[in-house]
Amino acid sequence: MRARRDAAVLRAVGLALCLAAPLGTAHGSESPAPLFQQAVGAFEAGRYGEARERFSALAEEAHPESHYNLGVLYEQGHGVTEDYARALEHYRAAAERQVPEAQYNLGLMYQEGQGVPQDRSAAAEWFRAAAEQGHEPAMTNLAALYERGLGVPRDAARARDWYRRAGAWDPSEATRRHALEELQVSSPSAVITSLE
């Protein structure tokens, strides 16, 4: 399952977009966008150490997307030793600043017990936070939790509602079974590549 998640992350690099308010950086009051884009470029070129350094500089200035991307580096072990505790720390910093990809990845970590004790209630809370911002994989996972009664009371109506919001509702048994299987193998979001 881990190999499937890693492959999905690498395939999905460049797909996630996020809004960010301009923040100051270590370079004064300039926009973080140029440094962020340099970090993304280093990541995409496989220069993970350089990417980590640049994302770290921005994270020190409370740049949420950089915290999120550092979480991805530590969770996946790109240019650093795989470290779920550090990934969790960075995801939480970004999630508390309303980055839905970070909220979703925290949900996955709690769901799977990576770096934390498995806690499906906490997973549901983080999936809900991301889902309420329109994150479709989080909607689907939250729906599956309601359908199965994992971490939340079993509730078919809420499950259907979240599946519909995600555009994943099809009452056929095959589609429902697929959604439940997706809960088991959901991939973390890829790095955020744009501040648009």
- Whose tokens are 């078919």? That residue is 156
- Which of 116, 114, 112, 138 lies closest to 125, judged by CA? 138
C-alpha angle with apex 119: 69 to 111, nearest 5 degrees? 50
pLDDT-derived band at 32 (thresholds 50, 70, 90) equals: confident
> pLDDT tier at 33 (50, 70, 90 boundaries)?
confident
Model pLDDT, residue 91: 97
Kindly list the structural domains of the chain, giving each domain's residue range(s) and its CATH number in brackets, ordered by start. 2-185 (1.25.40.10)
What average pLDDT does range 13-42 have in this prediction? 57
Return the pLDDT at 146. 95
Q: Vertex 100, ends 94 and 105: CA angle to 5°?
A: 75
Q: Which pTM does this prediction carry?
A: 0.76
Q: Residue 178 — φ and ψ, nearest 5°?
A: -60, -45
Question: Token digits for 17?
Answer: 């977009």
Largest CA distance in the chain: 56
